[in-house]
A and B are shown apart, each in its own frame.
Chain A
Amino acid sequence: MAGSEVAAIRFVETTKHYGEVVGLERLTLDVGGGEIVGLLGPNGAGKTTAIRTLLGLLKPTAGRAEIFGIDAWQHPVDAHRKLAYIPGEFHVWPQLTGGQILDLLGTVSGGYDPAFRDELIERFNFDPSKRGRSYSKGNRQKIAVIAALMTRAPLLVMDEPSSGLDPLMTATFQDCLREAKAAGQTIFLSSHILSEVEAVCDRVAVLRQGLLVEHGTLAELRHLHVNTVEATYLGAPPDLDGVPGVEDVQVRDGRIRLHVTGSTDPLLKALARAEVVSIQMREPTLEELFHAYYDETSHAADTAA
C-alpha cells in the first residue's frame, strides 16, 4: 500500500474490554484498497469483536478503527457509506419477504444494482417470495450475502460469511469474492473455515485471545514456517551439517527426511553436492499452520500454568 493512500480499513491500537474480559487488545492492522484479508482465529478469539468495533457497533475501550480514514465510532454514518456487511448469522424481519428485506437493505445502503441483485438471486438459487420467518439458516444467510454484494460497495466486511451455506453455494460465494476482487473491491472477512481463507485471501491475520499474533501474506507465513523435505540419493548421504534452517534430519536406506525453516536455497545447494535422485518439498497448508500455531501456544500456556 502506498504511503499516501488511505487504507480501506485501519485498526489503530484498537482495544475492547468487556469488564475484566479482553475482547480485543491493541489491534493494529491495515487493509489496503483491493486486498482480500482474512481474519483467522478460533471461537472467542476476538474476530467478531474486531468487526463490530470496526463497524462502530461496539465502542473501543482504547484506540480507534477507521474505514477509508473515517473514525467508525465517531462518524459511523459517513464511515458506512462505502461499505457493505455480511454478518455471520442473519436475523430476519419475520413479517417481510426475502425480496422486501433485500430492497430494504439496498435502500438504506444508498442504492443497489437491481439487475445484479436478480443475477445473484439466480446464482444463489434463492426464492425471494417467502416470508422471513420461513427461511432456513442457509437461506437467511443468502439474503445477507446478496444484500451486501448487490450494492457493489467498495468495501465488503464479512463475519464468517459462508456460515450455513452448503458446499455448492460456498463455491458460488467464493466465485463472487474473486469477481469482487477483480472489480477492485476490498474484502475483509473473518472465518474459521481455513480452506475458504486459503482459497480467496491475499493476506491473513491470526487472532488469539484478542491479540493479533501473526499476519502477512500466505507466502510469508509459509516461508517463515517449517517445510518438510524428502529426498532419495545414491552413495553417501548429503552433508547437511551447518546448513541454515535445517533440523530433524532422518537418514535411512538411501532416503533423507528433514524440516527446513526460512529460505530453502542453502539446503538445495547442499543437496546438489550429493547424488540426489529425487526430491519432494511440501509447504504446510494453512490448516497445518493454524494447528501448528495453536498447538504450540496451547502447549506453552499449559507449561506456563
Chain B
Amino acid sequence: MSLLQIKDLKVHFPIKRGVLIDRTVGHVRAVDGVSLSVEEGQTYGLVGESGCGKTTLGRAVLRLNPVTEGEVWFGGRDLAGLDAESMRRERKNLQMVFQDPLGSLNPRQNIGSILMEGLQTHGIGDGDDRRQVQQDRHKRVVEALERVGLSDRALKRYPHEFSGGQRQRIGIARALVLRPDLIICDEPVSALDVSIQAQVLNLLEELQDELGLTYLVIAHDLAVVRHVSDVVGVMYLGSLVEEASSDDIYATPLHPYTRTLMSAVPVPDPSVEDTRERILLAGDLPSPADPPAGCRFHTRCPWRQKERCDTERPELRPLRDAASGSTHRVACHYAEEILSGQIQPSEERAERIVTGGAADGGGGPGH
C-alpha cells in the first residue's frame, strides 16, 4: 500500500473579473487530473517547467491550495475530504521544504522559535509538567538541528545571520522536528549555489537513509530530480505525461515532451554536449486557462500525427506489449511507434533539431 496516493486530482483557480460583483469568467486549470502514488521510503520526483502545475500539486496535497476535485489518500484517509481542523492536525505528518530559504523563514523569529512552533502547535512533547515538556521539546529541536549539521548555538540567532545553504538546512530541520512520514520538497535547491545544492541534496539522501523518510521532490531541473528520485513523473500543462523509474526515464524516454526536455538539459561535459541530439521546441507553453484540446502537447510536438493528437486526450497508460510489472507509464497515443522509430520527428514542427555529431557543424561553436 502506498503512503500517498493521488487520484485524478484537479485544482482549478477561478479567474474573476468585474467591477462591483466578481464574475467567474474561466478557470486556470493548474492541475488537471493527475494520479500518482508515492511508496513508503522512496522518493517520487515531479519535474516540469514553470506553469506546469507541479508546485500547485504539491501544495494541494497539503491543502494549502483548495482541491477542486479528486482524492488524496494518505495513511488511510482522504485528505481532500477532511474538514479544516482535522487537516490542520494531519499536517504534522506531512511537511514541506520550500524553495526560498530566506523567504520561508519569518525574519523576526529566532531559529529556536521557528523550530519550536510546530511542536507547540501540535502539543508534541513528553513530560509530566510544563518544564519537562519544554525540555523534551528543546531536546527534539536540538536533535533536528544536529541532524542537518547545525549546532544548538543556532537557536538564538535569526535567519538573516545564516548563509543560503544553512537557511535551507534550517528549513529542513523545521520539517524534521515533527517527525513526519512524508516531506514535500518544493524546489529545495534551485535558489542555492551549485556547491551548496550538492550539500543539501546529499543531506536529503542521508536523512532518508537514517530516518526512512518518504519524499515528494518537485523541481524544474531534470538532472536534480533524476539524481534524488526512485520514480520520476514528468508534468506538462497540468497533467502527467510520463512516469517511470529514474533509470528507465533516462534510458528510454517515451513521451515527446520528456525527450525534448532531456535533450535540453545541459550536461557539464563537452564531449556529450557536442555529440548529443538537441530538439528545440517551437513556440511557447499554451495558457493553462485555455489548454489545447486533445493531447496538451500537440501544439508543440515534433512527432505530432494528423489523427487523434488534437482530438483525443491520451491517458497515462503502460506501454502495450510491455513486460508485466513494468512501471513505465506514458500519455501518448503513439508512444510505441515513436519508440520503434516508425514515426520520426518532423523538422517543420520543431524550431530546430540538431542531431549529434560534427557532421552538420553542430559540434560546438568556433570550429
Do A and B actually bind? no
A residues bordering B, Cβ < 8 Å? none
